[in-house]
Amino acid sequence: MIEKTIKGIWALLIGLSVTVKFFFTRPVTMKYPEEKREPYLRYRGSHILRLDEKGKEKCVACCLCATVCPAQVITIEAGEGNEHEKYPVTFEIDMGKCIFCGYCVEACPKAAIIMSQSYELAEYRREDLSYDKERLIKTGK
């Protein structure tokens, strides 16, 4: 009986020592949103539509990204410019359904679409999760 009690107290003390040890060490949690974690280098956040050095859209509306997208969340309406070049009149990504696989980035022949490291994507309204062309360009600025 006494032996069992001693074993119980010993186990309790071991447990308490672990608690006390972690009480004085640096916490693993962060005080978000005051403190923000630096994303890993290969983290895939929201998309960016890139511009070239002249400030023109790099996208040529080839729709390869929309074709490979497994979630089918990219909608592009192609148009023709003054010099018969193709460009996206509209370019939308439904971020609420995107699975952040990065296939669109891999498929793009013009490196016109990349993924940012932005992870604060929550919205109050579902329709706000649909990113249009202007918003996708602005994310990169």
Contact footprint for ligand SF4 (CB under 6 A): 59-65, 69-71, 73-74, 76, 93, 98-104, 107-108, 110, 112-113
Which is closer to ligand SF4, CB of 32 or CB of 108?
Answer: 108
Which has the closest alpha carbon to 92: 61, 54, 51?
A: 61
Check if the beta carbon of residue 137 is closer than 8 Å to that of residue 47: no
| Pairwise CA distance, residues 94 & 71, whole Å | 9
Smallest distance from ligand SF4 to CB 124, Å:
22
Smallest distance from ligand SF4 to CB 107, Å:
6
Which is closer to ligand SF4, CB of 22 or CB of 80?
Answer: 80
Coil/strand/helix, residue 94: strand
Please, which contacts does 55-58 make with residues 24 or more away whose CB atoms are closer than 8 Å?
57/87, 57/88, 57/112, 57/137, 58/110, 58/111, 58/112
Smallest distance from ligand SF4 to CB 79, Å:
12
Which is closer to ligand SF4, CB of 26 or CB of 126?
Answer: 126
Which is closer to ligand SF4, CB of 7 or CB of 56?
Answer: 56
Check if the beta carbon of residue 45 is closer than 8 Å to that of residue 129: no
Smallest distance from ligand SF4 to CB 64, Å:
4
